[in-house]
Homo-oligomer: A and B are copies of this chain.
């Protein structure tokens, strides 16, 4: 699976994302015409991500946002009740999409080796397709309310657990070497996260997401696979 193929299979346009957000928040959004809502939510989210990822969410004023979206401050407040709610919506949506797609794609694989590859690449490709969302989620997590912070931590642990359970299954079936499951999972996650945290560095060096993914796979598989190399015969489709 390469990134191009992933993009074809998974629909992650800004429009689709905003339609989903509208569906979830139909009660609180005062504007009712779907076309209008989706168009303006796209502006609001993309502007928020752009400005926040440059100078931080706290430092972004509603006036900044108004200028970037070409909407008045009053109009924007038809779509969320407070700045904090805007932050929470972004975080929530990122988590929902990640969880859903990871689960779905890994579920299609049968062997632990294929699952591990799929988990790493899917996570990586998701973070590529939604890079500003992932970067934002990471950097702004500590500005959330206490309750939302707990959700963010839970989500982090959830994806880590996906990795560690695959590793466990592989160990039990004898195709992975015996390593500390939790620590291995943590390090894998760190490698995947570096892609979206330092994306401009990799862009400057002309490293594509496919190259990065292959490299991480080699790195991880060298550590995790048995020396008998039983991995070689189980590449995923």
B183 touches A191 (CB 8 A): no
B187 touches A219 (CB 8 A): yes
Chain A: residues with Cβ within 8 Å of the partner, total of 32
Q: Is A194 an interface residue (CB 8 A)?
A: yes
Q: Give the segment of A16-24, A55-63, A99-107, A165-173 that binds chain B.
A: A55-63
Q: Is A40 an interface residue (CB 8 A)?
A: no
B59 touches A183 (CB 8 A): no
Interface flags, A185-199, vs B, CB<8A=1, else 0: 011011101100010
- Contacts of A53 on B, CB cut-off 8 Å? 142
* Cross-interface CB contact of A222 among B183, B216, B222, cutoff 8 Å: B222
Q: How far is the CA of A143 from the CA of B59 in the complex (A)?
A: 9
Known: A183-B215, A215-B180, A215-B183. A142 touches B56 (CB 8 A): yes
* Cross-interface CB contact of A187 among B142, B180, B186, B216, cutoff 8 Å: B216
- Contacts of A180 on B, CB cut-off 8 Å? 215
- Contacts of A212 on B, CB cut-off 8 Å? 183
- Contacts of A194 on B, CB cut-off 8 Å? 186-187, 189-190, 193
Question: Which 7 A-B pairs rank lowest in CB-CB distance, beginning with the nearest?
Answer: A190-B194, A58-B58, A58-B59, A222-B223, A183-B215, A219-B223, A190-B190
Q: How far is the CA of A222 from the CA of B223 in the complex (A)?
A: 6
A35 to chain B, nearest CB (A): 35
**In the complex, which residue of chain B has the Cβ closest to the Cβ of A189?**
B194
- Contacts of A31 on B, CB cut-off 8 Å? none
Interface flags, A46-66, vs B, CB<8A=1, else 0: 000000011110110000000
**In the complex, which residue of chain B has the Cβ closest to the Cβ of A211?**
B183
- Contacts of A201 on B, CB cut-off 8 Å? 156, 186
